[in-house]
Structure 1
């Protein structure tokens, strides 16, 4: 089948490359001429494991190409996916649909023959109705079905998630639309991926509800971590104990500095706004947002308490991106942490395996280091913020020798308190009582 993918951001590029790998003919469209030229040269604008090889192989096979002009790709397409950004609108938290609606108008002008237009972007409930209205207003003769097909990709594991999904949600009541999207996803039938057809508005809400629920699990275990510290329990054992109950499950029960990234903060805020617009209160989701914001700001105080104050001290920060295996700094917990450390008078040095170029845009006033040991050199405290695999087996003796004071604040619980105590560290983690120094 012929597919036009409008937008070459994270979702559009991963989805387009994977559809091409299924054997479809895919053209990815973006208004950013520089980005399109870079993609044609094989330069990938985001860090996602395996994406560069996937794009290269499908470009070589002539199943994937890139352009700035959607006219021909849309006219020839069986399905057109809208995968443009929907950032939080400044001032009120609503999703900004400017790019979605602009794409809908341009698609409408280029449509030729029966076409399924699919919103892949995360959009508020009812957006599909407006997209359909705009298309029919712009091109009354268009033979079109507008469907919703939300994405459920995890950064760092997006290709596997796309090819081995828990489910594929398609929102349309139109039989022709269901057939086209069924054919688009048919290659995944070998992986026995459940293909769930539902109404368009239901599909739109599924995406928001899923992200809000996962954000709630993270926030819940973070609050249990705070209680664990006070009562002398181990939050990791608590999480394992409740996660073995298959009604609860173990995923997203990892205590830490709070959630960030491109989806959870933005989508939970947007869901609250959608509910308010319909005179519904989502008290749990509202609380999740408030607790998470407070938690991210509180992490700097946790470091300060471990060091007995920060003024004039040097703090080494390991990990800046919101999670491993991505260079994404959007709403990363490291940002309020570092800002708080600076406000308390600390000098901050940082290292991240792939995220430092992006981090410099958010945190230009700190020093960046080439490896963890350079970062730790002369530091009065070291903070582990992102659980990169590169940080899981550090040479602890070397680390201690590099530091001015052997204080480690592990916000991801990578290490065991008894091991750190044996190496002579003052060690603070999340939701676990500190082990006395040996």
Structure 2
């Protein structure tokens, strides 16, 4: 498994738990040292125990030098990062291509090389070409096997997936992949075999559709506020339609994370490159970027009226990561909203159960506190940005008594307005009359 980031580490640990022997390789010596000490560099529920169990069983190991592991492997996964490339928005595939060239020089017998990283259509073709140039005599097949892991539920998603997608055009490779995923097929989880380019597009299309669904309900929420409707009831009413479904219909401050922002932009660029622009996704990206800044304006309006001044005011913020049950700060709405509030002259006091270590490097001027009640103490408004479970049953009466102004701005609709008001606070939600 080349790469021990989120995808590589979770996938490697889960494959080992299926009984396979897995070596995870990473160029970062400090990361490998931590893993060999039993320290997990990311927060993912259950991952620490899963890794420890499989290391103890001898099925999982970590190294900076993958030469021997690659030579001996039947399957080599490429699970390196594909961040948005500066300047043009395309996915940066330099790490993928570097891994492909390295693998080509090491493999001996027939080897299946699998792109687990999220890559644009046609990347598998280029990986194959790179390997062929580097080692014309090598026996290998390149396969696409995109991941569909939700941060915070990744182990469950890997072991009980909605589907496994395998893009393969070599019968020997198909047989190897079938054996790899045999534990899942035995339990009748769907394994979908497609052409390689189709598999690559499935990943982008899936993420783009979900991002579009989130953006859709956020715009409906704005309309609900204007016409006096309740977006949660609207979402329930349309989500019961089997053709629509209820998932990803929760309004909020915009999507973030490691996947949706970069994958929607990459799909837009790919579509433009091939002369088939995807207008819906282009608009989704624009609307989501604007939404985060609009939430800062919503906070200002709630605190001081339209166009009001919040200079010198204190805002308590609960939640910094893009979603609960992760320490991932990538493209989190907090990274746009908090600086915007600070630019308006507000002081921000923030708490997050897992994200503050990373946030300290990304949110200059923010005061980080030890808990939700510390964030509320003396604040002129308390804002919920991420719906961590520990924020769902706060003692609102206690909070109201410590705030300069007992105002709760709930950007995740965690609370009901009536209950908040009964506890002595003002309430502003998303998409509410």
Task: Give the TM-score, by structure 1 length.
Answer: 0.97
Instruction: Say if 2:140 is the partner of 1:144.
Output: yes
Instruction: Say if 2:186 is the partner of 1:187.
Output: no
1:424 deviates by 2.1
1:190 deviates by 3.4
Which residue of structure 2 aligns with residue 436 of structure 1?
none
Which residue of structure 2 aligns with residue 398 of structure 1?
398
1:108 deviates by 0.4
Which structure 2 residues correspond to residues 5-20 of structure 1 after superposition, within 5 A?
A: 5-20=1-16
Identify the match of residue 161 of structure 1 among 157, 160, 173.
157
1:156 deviates by 0.2
Instruction: Say if 2:54 is the partner of 1:75.
Output: no
Which residue of structure 1 aligns with residue 431 of structure 2?
431
1:191 deviates by 2.8
TM-superposition CA deviations, 1:84-116 (whole Å, max 9, x none): 000000111100001000000000011010100
Paired residues of 1:118 and 1:148 also in contact (CA < 8 A): yes
Displaced runs of 4 or more, over 3 A: none
For residues 92 and 393 of structure 1, the distance between their equivalents in structure 2, rounded to whole angstroms, comes to: 44
Which structure 2 residues correspond to residues 188-337 of structure 1 after superposition, within 5 A?
A: 188-308=184-304, 309-337=309-337
SS in 1 for 2:101: helix
RMSD over aligned CA atoms reads 0.6
Which residue of structure 1 aligns with residue 341 of structure 2?
341
Which residue of structure 1 aligns with residue 80 of structure 2?
84
User: What is the total number of aligned residue pairs between the two structures?
Assistant: 429
Paired residues of 1:70 and 1:107 also in contact (CA < 8 A): no
SS in 2 for 1:213: helix
Which residue of structure 2 aligns with residue 358 of structure 1?
358
SS in 1 for 2:128: helix
1:402 deviates by 1.4
1:173 deviates by 1.5
Gaps in structure 2 of 5+ consecutive residues: none
Identify the match of residue 31 of structure 1 among 23, 27, 31.
27
TM-superposition CA deviations, 1:158-212 (whole Å, max 9, x none): 0000000000000011111110001000011233110100000000000000000
For residues 234 and 246 of structure 1, the distance between their equivalents in structure 2, rounded to whole angstroms, comes to: 21
SS in 2 for 1:6: coil
Which structure 2 residues correspond to residues 100-111 of structure 1 after superposition, within 5 A?
A: 100-111=96-107
For residues 134 and 189 of structure 1, the distance between their equivalents in structure 2, rounded to whole angstroms, comes to: 32
SS in 1 for 2:22: strand
Gaps in structure 1 of 5+ consecutive residues: 434-438
SS in 2 for 1:362: coil
For residues 88 and 191 of structure 1, the distance between their equivalents in structure 2, rounded to whole angstroms, comes to: 37
